[in-house]
Amino acid sequence: MDIHTTKKPFDKKKWRNERYNKKFQKQQFEERRNKAIMRDYFKLKKKSNSNDPSNSENGPNQQATQPVKRLNAYQQAQQEFEKRKQEAVARKEEAAKRREEIKEAMGKYNEKKKKKMDIIRKKTKKGQPVMKERLESLYEKIKKSVEQDGS
């Protein structure tokens, strides 16, 4: 039990070497680089062995899957540009469609308003408002409100 709970004593010389010694730091960097190179080498070796058709389980007739070709930076930029261009065109079409709908709705509204105002503006020969038209418009208005409240 004592082995797990005791702390190692702090080695100041080792800490200074790790922290400030350029030779030691260079050596550690080279070790890390060599480990990375070895790891990549073994990974590549393992990959090439697994892609070998004679070693595969299905035999030599099985075709190896072709890796997807990656686009270079210019092609990626060009593809991104085309995508943005298409999105901009779609946004413009959507905005034009919305504007057209609003224009159509405003046209209907203005037409309705104009008819209502024509009815209200009618006068008799003596200059009095024509009550028949006004009463009909009020009746229609009340009828609509009753229908909306009822449903």
Give the residue ranges of DSSP H helices in the chain: 2-5, 12-20, 22-51, 73-121, 131-150
Angle at 144 between CA 106 and CA 112, to 5 degrees: 25
In a domain, 99, yes or no: yes
Structure token pair of residue 83 = 């995508």
**Do the beta carbons of residue 129 and residue 123 sit within 8 Å?**
yes
If one counts the domains in the chain, the total is 2
In a domain, 66, yes or no: no
Whole-prediction pTM? 0.43
Q: Which domain holds residue 83?
A: 77-140
Q: What's the pLDDT score for residue 61? A: 52
In a domain, 151, yes or no: no
Q: Tell me: do 82 and 127 sit in the same domain.
A: yes
Q: Tell me: do 81 and 135 sit in the same domain.
A: yes
Q: Tell me: do 125 and 86 sit in the same domain.
A: yes
H or E, element range at 71: none
Average pLDDT along the chain, 151 residues, taken 10 residues at a time:
76 88 91 94 88 58 66 88 96 97 98 92 92 91 92 71
